[in-house]
Amino acid sequence: MTLFIQGLAIPLDTKNVNGWGIPAAETDNVINSLKNSTLRICPGEAHACDFTGDPNGRIGRSVDAWLEKDGIHAKYEVTDSVAARKLKENTWDDLKWSTFADSKINPLSNDGWAGGVTVKSMTLVKNPAWSQAHYQVAASEDEGTTPLRLFSDFQLIASQEQNEGENITIELETKIKDLEEKLAASEKSLTEKETALSAAVSETAGITEKLTEIQASVTEITASKETLEKDLETKTALIASLEKEKAGSVPMTELKTIIAAAIEEHDQQLKTVNARDEAFKMFASAREALGLETKQEEFTTLSAADLSKLADDLGTVKLTASQIRYPANPSNSSGFTVGRPKSDGTWEA
């Protein structure tokens, strides 16, 4: 059978009749150290076994510590069978329990408030002569930790274990029922959360698919925009070119005059070329009649009129079987003759 004792360990934000106390800011320190503390009993002077660290004084271990309205409470399991029997049989009905703790800050030098509190043990002691639930501070202000003492009542809790064949108590049945209800509520909450998570995942997948479609549309629109911008740039350049050409264009009446003049000039050039070609043919024929070869490249500087005159002059030349006759007075001729003059004034063929 297991016996538990519990009760107020340390009140908070309350100064005792000696003018000091422990602030609520120390809650975490107190609770954490209580959970790691031990349950002791000192047969002689209060806390004598705490100071000496006598292992024989240990009769239990911490089970839990928590905060309530009147301060911090603690619960211990009595593991020593002799101590458990004496407590259960009220042999030790004159005992209180006392908090054995240290404070890094001496409350006597800190406006009555302790700081850096570490609980080492809860110790069962004889009921002190002063009022219960009062603190006692060691009369020392030396550097280091300061011992603190609090005496208060504790209560016994019936065993929560059962021997084989014993019936489960109503209290235990109630607790089991409460736990089952809490478990069912937790399972229901978990199921709801799993359903919500599944729906969220499904919704996220749909959003992802939509996002992919939107991104594809954006890419397509961006490409179309770039194509349109290029087309617009090309057309803008074309319009600018047309505007430039329009600005430098010639009126239609003037353009017709220019075209007519160009056609007339072309026709005249063609006429001139044709006339020279005809004159050259006549010139070449006249020379051929005289047995002379004519190369066109040798007469490129002669105009049509020059070639016609030479052809006429060559046409007056008469050839016989015995001799060639020249004009009687070559010096009076304005054209060309065939042969060369001699020193006596005659011509030699």
Residues 147 and 9 in one domain: yes
Pick the closest to residue 98 from 132, 67, 58, 56 (CA basis).
Answer: 132
Q: Which domain holds residue 154?
A: 3-162
Taking each helix axis from N to C terminus, what angle separates 252-289 and 304-315, rounded to the nearest 10 degrees? 20
Residue 322, pLDDT > 60, answer no
Contacts of 124 (CB under 8 A, 6+ apart): 39, 40, 41, 42, 59, 92, 95, 96, 97, 98, 154
pLDDT tier at 66, thresholds 50, 70, 90: very high
Pick the closest to residue 74 from 16, 171, 9, 170 (CA basis).
Answer: 9
Residues 65 and 44 in one domain: yes
Residue 233 resides in a domain: no
Residue 300 resides in a domain: yes
pLDDT tier at 32, thresholds 50, 70, 90: very high
Residues 153 and 11 in one domain: yes
pLDDT over 90 percentage in the chain: 9
Residues 7 and 114 in one domain: yes
Pick the closest to residue 71 from 123, 132, 24, 18 (CA basis).
Answer: 24
Residues 310 and 215 in one domain: no
Residue 133 resides in a domain: yes
In whole angstroms, give the CA distance from residue 64 to residue 73: 8
Residue 346, pLDDT > 60, answer no
Least confident of 147-151, 157-161, 216-220, 276-280: 157-161
Q: Identify the bridge partners of residue 151 per DSSP, sorted by sequence position.
A: 98
Residue 247 resides in a domain: no
Burial pattern 126-142, b for ≥16 Cβ within 10 A else e, equals: beeeeeebebbbeeeee
Neighbours of 44 (CB within 10 A): 10
Residues 191 and 293 in one domain: no
DSSP string over 98-115: EEEEEEEE-GGGTTTB-E
Residue 231 resides in a domain: no
Residues 135 and 215 in one domain: no
Residues 11 and 150 in one domain: yes
Residues 11 and 153 in one domain: yes
Residue 182, pLDDT > 70, answer yes
Q: Please give the model's pTM, rounded to 2 decimal places.
A: 0.41
Residues 117 and 213 in one domain: no
Helix (H) / strand (E) element for 136: namely strand 135-137
Residue 243 resides in a domain: no
What type of residue is 214?
Answer: I
Residue 168, pLDDT > 50, answer no
The owner of tokens 């329009």 is 246
Residues 284 and 327 in one domain: yes
In whole angstroms, give the CA distance from residue 150 to residue 132: 8
Residue 136 resides in a domain: yes
Residue 236 resides in a domain: no
pLDDT tens per residue, range 190-225: 888 888 888 888 888 878 888 888 888 888 888 888
pLDDT of residue 166: 40
DSSP string over 1-20: --EEEEEEEE--S---TTS-
Mean pLDDT for all residues in the chain: 75
Residues 180 and 154 in one domain: no
pLDDT of residue 129: 38
Number of domains, the chain: 3
